[in-house]
């Protein structure tokens, strides 16, 4: 469900949780380089977290917006521990 100790994206400094503006983030996150890390209905190894966004840069975020970050990493053979 959650990352093991020492393997959190938050500890890496690449993620943010936001519940106050989720409707806005869904639309604008890629403009600022963020993607929803654990989208609903996609197998990621983690439970769905509609508030958990990961920074990957604006260019990458726009490219990956439709497929999701975890799906892209799995497709590329990169199995992150966080």
Q: What is the DSSP string of 9-69?
A: HHHHT-EEE-SSSHHHHHHHGGGGTEEESS-TTS--SS---TTEEEE--HHHHHHHTTT-H
Q: Tell whether 25 is covered by a domain.
A: yes
Q: Tell whether 47 is covered by a domain.
A: yes
Structural domains of the chain, count: 1
Joined together, the tokens standing for residue 39 give 């989208």
| Catalytic residue numbers, as ranges | 49
pLDDT single digits (tens) 18-77: 878 778 888 898 899 988 877 777 666 677 778 888 888 888 887 776 666 667 677 767
Q: Tell whether 48 is covered by a domain.
A: yes
Q: Which domain CATH number covers 47? A: 3.30.1380.10
Q: Tell whether 52 is covered by a domain.
A: yes
Phi and psi for 52 in degrees, rounded to 5?
-100, 110
> What is the reported pTM?
0.66
């Amino acid at each position: 469900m959650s990352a093991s100790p020492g393997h959190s994206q938050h500890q890496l400094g690449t993620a943010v949780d936001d519940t106050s503006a989720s409707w806005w983030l869904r639309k604008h996150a890629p403009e600022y380089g963020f993607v929803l890390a654990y989208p609903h209905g996609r197998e990621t190894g983690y439970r769905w977290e509609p508030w958990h966004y990961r920074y990957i840069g604006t260019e990458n975020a726009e490219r990956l917006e439709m497929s999701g970050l975890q799906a892209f990493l799995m497709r590329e053979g990169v199995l992150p521990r966080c």
